[in-house]
Amino acid sequence: METKEKFKDFVKNNPILLKYVKDGKMTWQNFYEIYDLYGEDKDAWKDYLKTETPKQTNFDLSSFIKGLDLDGIQNGVNSLQRVLGLLQDMSSNKTPQNTNYKPRPIYKHFDD
């Protein structure tokens, strides 16, 4: 159990390992086996813990638009329009107040 906890701490300190698992290149089981055999030996982890220099990223509008879920956005906009329509209907359909209404005195009963 102690090795498992140390492995969890190792993964927290090296979040780049998560990328390998998400990309399907490695599994947590494989990483754990390496850790169980070699521990935190830098030679065992050199292929996975490469320090990359940060690249300057350019914003690519076409890639951003391709990644959008347009159907989901349209559904969200339609839902928001329905809600706003309901609120507008509720505010415009106020019942007109009857000006002939006179409140009954508290001390009187219906039959009095």
Q: Residue 111 and residue 16: Cα distance in Å, rounded? A: 83
- Give counts: helices (H), strands (E), the chain: 6, 0
pLDDT computed for residue 70 by the predictor: 84
**pLDDT tens sequence for the chain (112 residues):** 688 888 888 888 888 888 888 888 889 999 898 888 888 888 888 888 876 555 556 677 877 788 888 888 899 999 999 999 998 888 876 665 556 777 777 777 766 5
pLDDT computed for residue 59 by the predictor: 72
Where are the chain's structural domains?
Answer: 2-45
Q: What angle do CA 97, 102, 106 make, to 5 degrees?
A: 125
pLDDT computed for residue 5 by the predictor: 87
**Residue at 62: amino acid letter:** S
Q: Residue 41 and residue 10: Cα distance in Å, rounded? A: 11
